[in-house]
Chain A
C-alpha cells in the first residue's frame, strides 16, 4: 500500500511542478489561470488520493475525500470569478495567431 501511495504522490508532485513552471513561464494572465487549474484538478487529486491510501480506511480518509470534493467544487468557482473580474475590468487576453 505504501508503494502505491508513493507512486500517486509522486505523480501528483509532477503535475504540481509542471503547473508551477507554467505559472512562471506562460505569457499572460488568462493562460496562467490554466496552469493553476491544472494543479487544482489533477495534481491535488493525485496527491490527496495517495495520502488517503496511506491513511487507510478510517474517518480521516473520509475527511480527506471531503477536502477533495470541496476543492473540486470550489476551485472552478474561484478561477471563474478571477478570470471574469479580469475580463470585465478590461484586461485584454493575448491573442496569438497560428503560425
Chain B
C-alpha cells in the first residue's frame, strides 16, 4: 500500500506538471487561470494522499480544507479583476 501511494504521489506531481505547462504556455490569461485552478484541485488531492502516506490524515486534512476555501477567494478575485479590466 505504501508503494502504491508513493506512485500515486509521483503521478499526481507529473499531472501538476501538465497543468503547469498550460499555465506557462497558455496563449491567453484565461488559460493560465484555468491551469491554476486545475493545479489547486490537484494540490488538494495531493495533500490528502500525503496525509494517508504518512498516516497522519488529521493534520493534513485541515490544510486541504483551507486550500479549497482560499482557492475560491483567489480565483474569484482574479476573475473579477479580469472582467473589470476589460470594461473600463
- Are A13 and B8 in touch, CB under 8 angstroms? yes
Nearest 3 A-B pairs (CB), nearest first? Answer: A89-B86, A81-B79, A20-B18
Of the A-B pairs whose beta carbons lie under 8 Å apart in the complex, a sample of 26, sorted by A's number, is A6-B1, A16-B12, A16-B15, A16-B45, A19-B38, A20-B15, A23-B18, A23-B34, A32-B34, A40-B41, A47-B45, A47-B49, A51-B52, A63-B61, A64-B61, A66-B65, A67-B65, A70-B68, A70-B69, A78-B75, A84-B79, A85-B79, A88-B83, A89-B30, A89-B83, A89-B85
Contact A51 B48 (CB under 8 A): yes
List residues of chain B with CB within 8 A of the CB of A21: 18
> Are A36 and B37 closer than 8 Å at their CB atoms?
yes
User: Size of chain B's interface in residues, with CB distance under 8 A?
Assistant: 45
| Extra pairs beyond A67-B44, A89-B82 (11, CB < 8 Å) | A2-B1, A17-B11, A19-B38, A20-B19, A32-B31, A36-B34, A77-B72, A78-B72, A85-B79, A85-B82, A89-B85
Determine how close the nearest CB of chain B comes to the CB of A86; give it in whole angstroms: 4
- Residues from chain B with Cβ under 8 Å of A91 in the complex: 28, 30
> How many residue pairs at the A-B interface have CB separations less than 8 Å?
130
- B57, A23: Cβ atoms closer than 8 Å: no
Q: Which residues of B contact A (CB under 8 A)?
A: 1, 4, 8, 11-12, 15, 18-19, 21-22, 26, 28, 30-31, 33-35, 37-38, 41-42, 44-45, 48-49, 52, 57-58, 61-62, 64-65, 68-69, 71-72, 75-76, 79-80, 82-83, 85-87
